[in-house]
Chains A and B, each alone.
Chain A
C-alpha cells in the first residue's frame, strides 16, 4: 500500500524529497528516441479521451432510432461494421468506426452536469470527504514516462471540468492548453530578448537568495526553484513541438478540420507520438435542452472529421494498437423530445465509442428501447466496468489500495473489466 498523507512528519518530508527527485528526472535526456519510435506491442500505451461536454444525445450520434416516435429527424447510415448503423451526421466516422466498439448501454446515476462529469471522469460518484482522481491522473500516477519534459497529462480545449488529480494531488491535474495548435499559451517567454531573459533570471537569483536567509529549508520545501527550472526546461524542450501543428501537411490538417476540437485531436496524436500518457480533448456544446437536432448537426461538423481523422491517422502510423481512444460525455439525452425541440439529461442507456490499445473493435454492446418506454437498456454497462477494462489494457493494477489524505484506503477503480472487449 502506498501512503500519500497523514504520515508522521519525517516520512512526509521524504515523500516531498522524492517529488523533488522526480523533478530532477526532467534533467535526464529526452525520451529515448527508440522508445518513441517503437510500435505495436513494444510501445508504451497512451490514452486519449474525447470528452463531449454537456451530454451528447445517443440518438443523434451512435444509437439512432430513425422513423420512431423518439427518433427525431436523424437518419441512420450503414458503417463498415455490418452490425452497426450510426447517425447520418457521421458519414466519415462510418468509414472508420469498424476498428472501434460501440457501447449503447452505458448506465449512470448522475443526471447533473457537475456530478455526471465527476462520475464519468473518475469512475466514482461524488462522495463526501474525498475527491477522486480522474482516469488520466491515475494513469500518469501509475505509469510515469521517463525522459518526458512536457506534462504527462494534458487537457486540450476549454471545458467546464478538466481532469483533476483529486486525492493524488494537484501535480496530477491535467495541464491545460485552451487553444491547442494555435499558440503555446504561457509556454512562450514574455520577452524574445535573450539578454533580458538572462537578466531576469539573475535578478531572480539575488532576490531569492535574500529570501532564503534564515529560511533555507522552508524555502527549499516550497519546491519553488524546481518548479521554475522545470518550467524553463519545458519552455526550451524540443518535445514542445508536439503542441505545434504548423509543420503538419495541409492535407492532414484539413482532414482533422479547422476547429478547436479538430486541432486538439491533431495535437493529441502528436502528443501520443511524443510519449505523453494521458490526453483529453474537449468538445463543448452538447447540452441541447432546445433545438437538439440543430445543435447536434453543428457539433458533428467538428466531431465527425476530427474523430475519424484521428482513428485513421493512428492506424496509418501504426499507433492504434497502443492508443486507447474513448469518446464519451457525462450522460446521454432523453428519448423524449421536449416542447422546445430539445432533449434533456438522460443518465441511463447512453452511448460511447471505445477502441484501440488492446480493446477489441467491431463490437456493439447493448440496446436501447426504440419506443423509449423502457428506461433500462439491455446488457447495461457500468462506468466502473468501462474504466476497469481500460486500466487492464493499459496495465494498471486496480486491486491495490492507496491511502487517501483522509486515511481511507481506496482502490483506483471498483469495477470488473469487460472481458469480451479485451483482445
Chain B
C-alpha cells in the first residue's frame, strides 16, 4: 500500500536523476543557465545603503567591544548563496566555474547570476508562500497551493514590484486555477466560507509584520491591539465570497427570509452574549492612507501597501533578511537578548533607537520600486552576510553569553539548521557532477518534487514558524544515516557522482578533493587528509568504491552538511 509507494519513488528518483544528468553530459551541450527575463534591479544608490548598514553594524560592534569574525572563504560564500537562493548546494560543475572566474566582484556577480536563474523564483516562492498561505492542504479543489506557488515563482523571477504582488493577492477575483493569486483567499476557506479572521491575521502578520491574531478573540494581553481593531480590519473581507465562478466581491445579496435584496454586511457574533452585530470596515491607524474608492478589499490592500505605511516595508525586509541568514536578526529587530525574535511581531515604526535599520532597508526597498532582488543584493553585500561562521571567541570553554552576543549583533554568521528541502536539494546535488536545474528538466524536476515531498514527510516540516531555532530530531538523523534515499545517492555506480569520482578522478588526492568539493564545497583539511588518504591508498574497484561511499556517508551525516554556516 502507501508505504511501498512511499519508498519506491525515492529509489527511482535517485536512479533517474543520476541517469538523466549523466545522459545530459554531452560536451557539446552548452551549459546556458535558464535565465528569467524580467526587471533588472537598479544599482543606483545600493552601495550607499550597504555602506550605511555596514557603518551602523561596525559602530555597534565597537561600542560593545566586539571584534567581528573574519570574512568567509569564497567557496563557503558560494555554498551559502546557493542554499539561500536556490535551496541546494553548488554542483562540482559550478564550483569549478567559480574557481576559474578571476574577475573582480566575484561574489556580487555570482549573486546576480543566481538571482537571474529561475531556480531562485521556485525556491523563494515556496518560502514566501509559507507566510502568505501557510503549509496546510486546505479545502479540496477550491484551494490550489501548487498553482499559487507557481504563479508566485513566475512573478518573483520577473521581479514584479512586491507591493503590486501583495495587492494582486489581496484583491484578485476569479477562479483558483486561471487566476492563481485568488488562492490567497481560498486558502482560508472552511466549510464553504471565506474565513475573514484568518485572512486578516495573515495579512497583518505577513504584510505588516504584526501579530494581531490574539485580538480575534480578546484584546491583546500584552500589546496594543484590541478586538475592535481586529474586527474592523476583518470587515474589509466581509464582502469577499466565492462561488462556481471563483472569488468575487458581493455587495448585495438576496435575504432568503425576506426575499429582498440587501447590502452584504460583515456580521460578528459576540463570544459572550452571542448577540449578532454589524461591523463596519475601519483601520486601526493611518485612516488617511485608505483609498476613497474601490471594493472593501481594494481599499484594505491600498492601505496596507501605502508608501507611508512603513510597517509594510519593514515586515518584508525583516523576513527576507531572515531567509538569507536562516534566522531572524536580533539586532535589526532591536531585541539583543532575544535569540529568535519573530519576524512577524516587529516593534512599531519609531520605537527603535536611531538609526533604525529596518527603516533604512525599508526605504531603500520602497524607493527603488519594491524590488525584492535588489533587497537581496543589498543584504548579501552587507558585512554580516560576508562574515565567517567561525570566531576566535568560540573555542573550547567559550563564554556562552559572549557567543550569544556575537550572533545577536551580527558579528559572526550564525549556524542554522537547513530546511528539509535544502537537505534533500543538497543530497540530490551530491549525486550529480552537473548542476541540477531546469536544464535537467521535467522528469528530474518531477522526481525531485515527489521525493522532496516524501522526504519532507519523514524529515518533518518546520511549518510556518520556520525561522525559530529547532535542534535536529532523531528521525532526521536516522533518515540521513540509514534512509534509502541517501543510500542510493552515495552508492558508487556509473550513474552517480561518487561512481564517477572513483572511475575518473585519478590520483587519491584528486579523488578526495572531488568528494569534498561535491559534498561540502571545500577541500579537505590537513587532518582529514591524514586520516582519509591512507584509506584510498592502493585501492581499486570495489574496495575504492566502498571508501568513497563511506566518505559520502560521513559527509551526509556531518553537522557541516545539514547546518548552514
Chain A contact residues, CB within 8 Å of chain B: 5-6, 8-10, 12-13, 16, 19, 111-112, 114-115, 128-129, 131, 151, 158, 169-171, 173, 175-176, 178-179, 182, 185-190, 196, 199-204, 206-211, 213-219, 221-225, 227-228, 230-231, 234-235, 260, 284, 405-408
Contact = CB atoms under 8 A, between A and B. Distances in A.
B317 to A, nearest CB: 23
A111 B481 contact: no
Interface in B456-496: 458, 460, 463, 465, 468, 470-479, 481-483, 486-487
B136 A171 contact: no
A201 B558 CA distance: 10
18 contacts: A114-B137, A115-B190, A158-B2, A158-B3, A169-B470, A171-B471, A176-B458, A186-B482, A190-B481, A190-B482, A199-B547, A201-B554, A203-B532, A210-B525, A210-B560, A211-B559, A214-B388, A216-B398
A206 B528 contact: yes
Contacts of A151: 474
A170 B473 contact: yes
B449 interface: no
Interface in B241-271: none
A129 B201 contact: yes
A174 to B, nearest CB: 10
A230 B472 contact: no
Contacts of A227: 471-474, 476-477
Interface string B201-237: 1000000000101101000011000000000000000
Contacts of B487: 190
B563 A12 contact: no
Contacts of B213: 128-129
Contacts of B214: 128-129, 406, 408
Q: Which of A112, A179, A203, A228 neighbours the largest number of chain B CB atoms within 10 Å of its CB?
A: A203
Interface residues of B, number: 82
B66 interface: no
Contact of A207 (B191, B468, B478, B554): B554
A112 B190 CA distance: 7
Interface in B70-111: none
Q: Which of B463, B473, B486 neighbours the largest number of chain A CB atoms within 10 Å of its CB?
A: B473
B565 interface: yes
A217 B191 contact: no
Contacts of A207: 520, 528, 554-555, 558, 560
B474 A234 contact: yes
Contact of A222 (B337, B417, B465, B531): B417
Contacts of B389: 215, 218
B49 interface: no
Q: Which of B201, B479, B550 neighbours the largest number of chain A CB atoms within 10 Å of its CB?
A: B550
Interface stretch (B38-46, B347-355, B400-408, B438-446): B400-408
B396 interface: yes
A128 B417 contact: no
B535 A199 contact: yes
Given A199-B550, A216-B396, A222 B190 contact: no
Contacts of B388: 214
B56 interface: no
A10 B482 contact: no
Given A207-B554, A214-B390, A231 B1 contact: no
Contacts of A176: 458, 475
A131 B201 CA distance: 15
Contacts of B139: 112
Given A158-B6, A190-B482, A210-B525, A215 B394 contact: yes
Nearest to B490: A190
A192 B250 CA distance: 66
A246 B560 CA distance: 39
Interface string B1-45: 111101000000000000000000000000000000000000000
Contacts of A407: 222
A223 B474 CA distance: 10
Nearest to A207: B558
B473 A173 contact: yes
A260 B4 CA distance: 11
B401 A9 contact: yes
A207 B516 CA distance: 10
Q: Which of B396, B520, B531 neighbours the largest number of chain A CB atoms within 10 Å of its CB?
A: B531
B532 A128 contact: no
Nearest to A129: B213
A188 B563 CA distance: 24
A375 to B, nearest CB: 15
Contacts of A111: 191
A229 to B, nearest CB: 9
Contacts of B450: none
Contacts of A129: 201, 211, 213-214
Q: Which of B222, B417, B483, B553 neighbours the largest number of chain A CB atoms within 10 Å of its CB?
A: B553
B430 interface: no
Contacts of A221: 415, 471
Contacts of A10: 400-401
Nearest to A173: B460
A407 B221 CA distance: 10
Nearest to B462: A170
A200 B473 contact: no
A19 B471 contact: yes
Contact of B3 (A178, A196, A230): A178
A178 to B, nearest CB: 4
A173 B554 CA distance: 27
A66 to B, nearest CB: 31
A187 B478 contact: yes
B559 A186 contact: no
A120 to B, nearest CB: 16
Given A215-B394, A218-B414, 14 more contacts: A9-B338, A128-B213, A129-B201, A158-B1, A158-B3, A186-B483, A217-B398, A219-B415, A219-B563, A222-B559, A227-B471, A227-B473, A230-B477, A231-B474
Nearest to A189: B482
Interface string B532-551: 10010000000000110011
B197 interface: yes
B563 A224 contact: yes
Given A206-B528, A214-B395, A228 B557 contact: yes
Contacts of A6: 338
B67 to A, nearest CB: 13
A9 B339 contact: yes
Contacts of A206: 527-528, 531-532
Given A210-B525, A211-B559, A230-B474, A170 B550 contact: no
B400 A204 contact: no
A227 B528 CA distance: 23
Given A206-B528, A217-B403, A228 B481 contact: yes
Contacts of B396: 216
Contacts of A196: 546, 550
A59 to B, nearest CB: 22
B198 interface: yes
B130 to A, nearest CB: 14
Nearest to B2: A158
B474 A408 contact: no
A217 to B, nearest CB: 5
B554 A408 contact: no
